[in-house]
A = this chain, B = another copy of it.
Amino acid sequence: MSAEGVSEVAGASDRFLRACRREPVDLTPVWFMRQAGRYLPEYRAARADRDVLQMSRIPEMAVEITLQPVRRLGVDAAILYSDIMVPLAATGVEVRMAPGLGPVIDEPIRAPSDLSRLRPLDPDSDIPFVLEAVRMLRRDLTVPLIGFAGGPYTLASYLVEGRPARDHPRTRALMHGDPAVWEGLLDRLAGTVLALLRAQVAAGAQAVQLFDSWVGDLDPGDYERFVLPWVSRIFEELAPLGVPRIHFGVGTGELLALMRAAGADVVGVDWRVPLDRAWDRVGRDAAVQGNLDPAVCLAPWDAVERKALEVLRRADGRPGHVFNLGHGVFPQTPPETLERLVDLVHSRTAR
């Protein structure tokens, strides 16, 4: 852990939340998507041969794994260890995690009659283990806790394709070919997402991130028509809770302004768009999160440093930057690289 985390202006305990609100901070906060994950030997040891759905159901395990990167890396926020498929699996969708592949749904959702298989989420009875983990974490953590959910397009893509697929063609075919089923599907998913995020906040989550990871599949017109209304509804209904709302997707260069318009306080940016260019599209009245290419973290340190400093240079010390990767940590990443990266960002941004 770095020693710079204590300050009068904003210390490790709140610099992440302050940056989300574009308030002054003592130094730029850092966390990493998938920071609780396979690149950590202590994660692999704890998980053994269980999959993420099994792990998520054991609050003590979710807590331990959520804490691991906070302890080791000194990041400025924790993100709940869970999976975007947890609320679907908890409401009757048969999901299995196929090793090396990801979530598989043997009976995909494609017809009007399939929609009835998606029942509303009742967090207290369906996912008490998630809420218990959040409550336990708030007792242990000295940095803010981020709750999260999958975005409606991304959840739909898993349900419609039935398995991870490049570019998700059946999802967009359904969207264009049967808008009524699509809208019914997104209505249900938005309800589930909203119930999940509200419950996480009620249990103590201090920020939420909507991972609409695959929404970059869409052109702007389709995003605006087929996804944005549901994301707007989710963010609008979260607004009274007063926690920062982060919105992230991969390959969203053309969608950044719309993602902000949907109501995000913080827009997560992947590595393909230089951060200053991305911020121009998002608008300077919002915060941004990102955007070091996670593949760079597999290279020797001097390359990591060079590219990380480029991100900081493009952020230009403006209020409202949360340093992160442009997508999740790759499993082959050396933990030491992320430790050094936290220290680098902290030391180079100390005000």
Contacts and interface: CB of A to CB of B under 8 A. Distances in A.
Contacts of A169: 294-295, 298, 330, 332
Contacts of A167: 295, 327
A240 interface: no
A310 interface: yes
B295 A272 contact: no
Number of copies of this chain that the complex holds: 2
B216 A299 contact: no
A85 to B, nearest CB: 18
A92 interface: no
Contacts of A271: 219
A340 interface: no
A303 B177 contact: yes
A220 interface: yes
Nearest to A220: B274
A295 B173 contact: yes
A90 B11 CA distance: 60
Nearest to A296: B176
Contacts of A310: 221
Interface in A130-168: 166-168
Nearest to A299: B177
A306 B226 CA distance: 15
Interface in A165-203: 166-174, 176-177
The range of chain A's interface size is: 35 or more
A193 to B, nearest CB: 23
A254 interface: yes
Contact of A172 (B217, B293, B300): B293
Interface in A198-223: 216-222
A38 interface: no
A307 interface: yes
A272 B251 contact: yes
Contact of A274 (B168, B221, B298, B303): B221
Given A177-B298, A219-B272, A296-B173, A251 B254 contact: no
Contacts of A166: 166
Contact of A299 (B176, B306, B327): B176
A273 interface: yes
A177 B304 CA distance: 9
10 contacts: A168-B295, A173-B296, A176-B303, A176-B307, A216-B251, A217-B295, A219-B273, A221-B274, A251-B251, A253-B272
Given A219-B293, A251-B251, 15 more contacts: A169-B298, A169-B330, A170-B295, A172-B293, A173-B298, A176-B295, A176-B296, A177-B299, A216-B272, A217-B272, A219-B273, A219-B274, A253-B272, A254-B273, A254-B274
